[in-house]
Amino acid sequence: FVCAFTKACNTPAVLRSYDTEDAVDSLSTSNCKIWEAARATSAAATFFNPITVGFQEYVDGGTGHNNPVEIVLEEAKSIWKDAATRIQCLVSIGTGVPDPKDFGDNLKEVVETLKAISTQTEATEMRFCKNAKSLGVGGRYFRFNVTRGLGDIGVDEHDQKSLSGIAVASERYLKEPMVGERVQKFLCARSEQHGT
């Protein structure tokens, strides 16, 4: 499944390639083709127009769900009643944290900067980490998100210089001590699940 937003209500929607017990929810998305789901997740205003699937019009889930980890867990719980014990590892890979900018000279610039700093993705991350144990995935949830170096690379840039910049920022991120510890914990959790 993937997450997109309904254009009319601006609410998150799960586009699936399978049926669920929730007949109303499944009705609108169970016949969704994979290419339609992909288009819905890329229907960002400056790149692609919204797409209609079934009776609903969808736009990019990134407008409010660039980190859909909570929706992923809810989806798993709707499929398996024992989802918390079935989940071996829950991995969330971010698209990078925006680089900090000067706060600006006027109130509008300050507000825009603060909005950029307090992105939804990291707010979701903090909330989910705080509740991971009570949600049944404590010690098995891992988020990886490059913290600096991607701020000047636009989502539409795919030239060699941009790709090299992404690779360098990612390598630098993975070499950070705290990230290295998180990678080791992830590898240990995976090996415990597989008995290796």
Domain final residue, candidates 20, 37, 63: 63
CA proximity to 129, closest of 92, 158, 99? 92
- Residues 24 and 104 reside in one and the same domain: no
Helix (H/G/I), strand (E/B), else coil: 26: helix
86-142 per-position pLDDT tens digit: 888 888 888 777 655 544 566 676 556 545 544 566 777 778 878 778 777 888 888
Instruction: Pick left, alpha or beta for residue 11 (phi over 0 → left; psi -120 to 50 → alpha; otherwise beta).
Output: beta
- Residues 130 and 162 reside in one and the same domain: yes
- Does residue 132 belong to any structural domain of this protein? yes
- Residues 100 and 55 reside in one and the same domain: no
- Residues 46 and 90 reside in one and the same domain: no
Domain final residue, candidates 63, 89, 109: 63
- Residues 123 and 89 reside in one and the same domain: yes
- 156 to each of 101, 105, 193, how far by Cα in Å? 21, 29, 38
Range of the domain at 32: 2-63
- Residues 17 and 110 reside in one and the same domain: no
- Does residue 40 belong to any structural domain of this protein? yes
pTM exceeds 0.85 for this model:
no
- Residues 127 and 94 reside in one and the same domain: yes
Identify which has the larger pLDDT, 182 or 31.
Answer: 182
Model confidence at 33: pLDDT above 70: yes
